[in-house]
Structure 1
Amino acid sequence: MDKVQEYREHAHRCELLLEKAADPRVRQKLRRERQEWLELAASREAVLRGERWAGERALDEEMTLSSLRAFEARQRFG
């Protein structure tokens, strides 16, 4: 469940940044990234319960490039 919590925390940080962003392009990117992290959390929860999520492989097995970069940056820089 640690990864689920990490994913949800990152989604929450995206939401907080979204409130402060003025540029529409930045807001769109943050909305997309927040959604990706929420989907990753849901996928991971399903995997932990031994279920399939939306009939697909777990999303954290095929994390999007932008999400992976953000996650790795968070791991490195806290």
Structure 2
Amino acid sequence: MRTKIFDQNGIKIYKENKHYYVRYDVGAHQIVIRKDEITEEEASKMMSSMEQATQVLFRIQKTLEKNGENPYISNIR
């Protein structure tokens, strides 16, 4: 079951079973929504402040790029 546990400043965090996911807009001139898995610790950080949320999102984007995936393209189907 999916439960929304956070929704502020365009960042939504969901818990699905034992997994955490963040949905956020990566578009600059248009809306481009991504959904990426995060850890429980990252979810807590993101909910604590926008500065922490930004740091987690940058880490996600760097990891995606490192793995050969474009972090600025929607992965929502």
TM over 0.5, shorter chain: no
Bigger strand fraction: 2
Bigger radius of gyration among the two = 1
Q: TM-score, normalised by structure 1?
A: 0.31
Bigger helix fraction: 1
Higher relative contact order (CA 8 A, sep 6+): 1
